[in-house]
């Protein structure tokens, strides 16, 4: 599980959803298990089980925010963040719909193959029974 914490506010307030998130160590340095990432010119200390994955998704969010800012020409970082979140949510919803469609296709193909296998098994049983009888 990944926990999010903005390094400037360790209280869990100000939009930080987790009070168990990484906190700054002595002298403001990130806690040993924290990953420092930069998103839209802000540094965040995050922690989770996979540092590379955290870096990857932070880069995705940063890229999406920069694309939104470049397209919209707005400098308001909150507005950019909300628009980027909407874009990411749209991507997620589209991918979930595609996944559900593919999963449905796989289920349908699996049912069809199971039915064919049952039919072939019955035909083979009939053939073997005929040979034994004959």
List per-residue pLDDT tens for the chain, 134 residues long.
455 544 433 323 233 333 344 444 455 555 557 999 999 999 999 999 999 999 999 999 999 999 999 988 777 899 999 999 999 999 999 999 999 999 888 888 888 888 889 899 989 988 888 888 86
Distance CA 92, CA 83 (A): 14
H/E element, 39:
strand 35-39
**CA–CA dist 94, 133 (Å, integer):** 58
The H-assigned helical ranges of the chain are: 51-72, 77-133
Entry pTM: 0.59
């Amino acid at each position: 599980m990944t926990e999010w914490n903005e390094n400037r506010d360790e209280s869990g307030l100000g939009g930080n959803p987790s009070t168990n998130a990484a906190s700054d160590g002595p002298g403001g340095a990130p806690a040993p298990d924290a990953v420092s990432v930069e998103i839209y010119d802000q540094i965040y200390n995050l922690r989770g089980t996979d540092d590379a994955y955290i870096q990857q998704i932070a880069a995705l969010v940063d890229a999406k925010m920069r694309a939104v800012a470049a397209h919209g020409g707005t400098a308001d970082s909150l507005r950019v963040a909300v628009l980027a979140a909407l874009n990411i949510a749209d991507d997620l919803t589209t991918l979930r719909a595609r996944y559900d469609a593919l999963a449905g296709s796989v289920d349908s193909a699996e049912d069809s193959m199971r039915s064919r296998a049952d039919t072939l098994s019955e035909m083979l049983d009939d053939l073997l029974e005929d040979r034994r009888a004959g």
